[in-house]
Structure 1
């Protein structure tokens, strides 16, 4: 049901198809916006148009291009044309009807004032962006149930292999254990160098590196297997020495007091950890969200009804995926549990970072 501040808006929802825009869309003008909509292949993010029909039922008075990462709990307005407030209100109603928890809005043409008038808050601009990342300089978001989630800084990994280090740094910046202005490429590469299993960061090595960098922060590694992990894509000749490094990481964990819990963290347990003001670095597969089964680290830092809020340090610009998708990203609990099952052998890994000893209150 729309809230008293959101009158019911008639709308038409149709798939967005590459090629010549439909007649109702063309008549709205804004050809530079329509060209940008066609500039990348958004097909894997379920692109669709939410149009507001005019009084004659034929022409539209407004339209918005809407996308979202698969298996998530939000919609993103790429842009709106025509009567923009009406288009945005129609998208919000559309998201509510789908029982989603959030709507985002890329700031290609929208101003902070227009966004605020529609009930959206500004996202803090990214401190860094992934290599070849696209997207506008500004973005906006709105929780549909008035949830409050404290926003961490957004930092896009600057290499293809530093996601683990970035999630740890963002977690510590969000917790107040690292100044935000210290979150830079030098810090990214320094922590990665201490945690890497060449080139990826496996759970035990990452947990040990976090404990070394912040000795006062309690760290627990969750890994439900005692065998080496994340080696399957390497040639057989290169697995042995990487496996040996992982055994060394387990020895380091014993010496530095980092416990290794042999249980996989469920979404329910991640919720409990966040409720204790912990941060969870979660290893998940990108198969559901991006279409390729690659292990990838994300930060779990907030909760809303039905979903865990993550920050993903990587976005796939080739699909129209931007930092606005990756930042404050809600994922429904069952979807998160599925993503955290890492193929081909089905293991789960996470690193939980607690509050520093001086902040136990």
Structure 2
């Protein structure tokens, strides 16, 4: 099995912004783009992207999950990065067109088709360190993916880092490559030094997120997570999980959580910690690493609530449960 996200469909949807207007979108070969070496994106990181999925149901139909939310976040990221404003209707059609083109290639569950809309500044102008790119390119790549847990799921080890932060605090809500680059080296070092799977960044002693996922804590009937602000990504999976938790009668608390509170709660039996994101949906955290010491979360294993919530979301995505929140868009 190829590594997650390493296989791509041979064509993608593409549109460009020049002379203050968007071109018509086209379906083009995935390896057909070229950039001037002075392109704004290559020097000043004017880039954002999204991650969403299409799912094949048992009747053979193909559905995209929460496309509207991803398009809204993509538009917000583009705006906050001073990229040309996207045409949301055009992007929705680009996603529909390219997924329809490769509908036959959408894997059956537990696989899916990963969809990666991307927006980059293309103006060839290296004097624009403090100015926006006047031209850009928007494309939608597809990557068929298998079961994220094909090698077997395990509870993660999470390093609590109170010194650093994932990215500049006013940039956190933007899904931009620079934010992931900012967290990369610390994460690699945490893996080497502590055998950690991820870092939970806790600047000033309060939790935000890991390098690539939102963080949630379950204590009894309460699910706790940081309230939305500009410092961390407003995850679509996070939002979906919180909605499903409310459907199950759970209390949702969105507020500040200190590392001190986190470690106190983690020591209680039955407490669960988890990470949410498009790729894995929900992954249990079994251990916190803090000041060089391991702290077990609950029983240190995969938690039943994480499994229950992940299955509830998967059942909607694959059409095994009613889509009561209208999260699915039928493509083919």
Q: TM-score range by the shorter chain?
A: under 0.3
Query: Which protein is richer in helix relative to its size?
Result: 1
Query: Which protein is richer in strand relative to its size?
Result: 2
* Structure index of larger Rg: 1
TM-score, normalised by the number of residues in structure 2: 0.26
TM-score, normalised by the number of residues in structure 1: 0.25
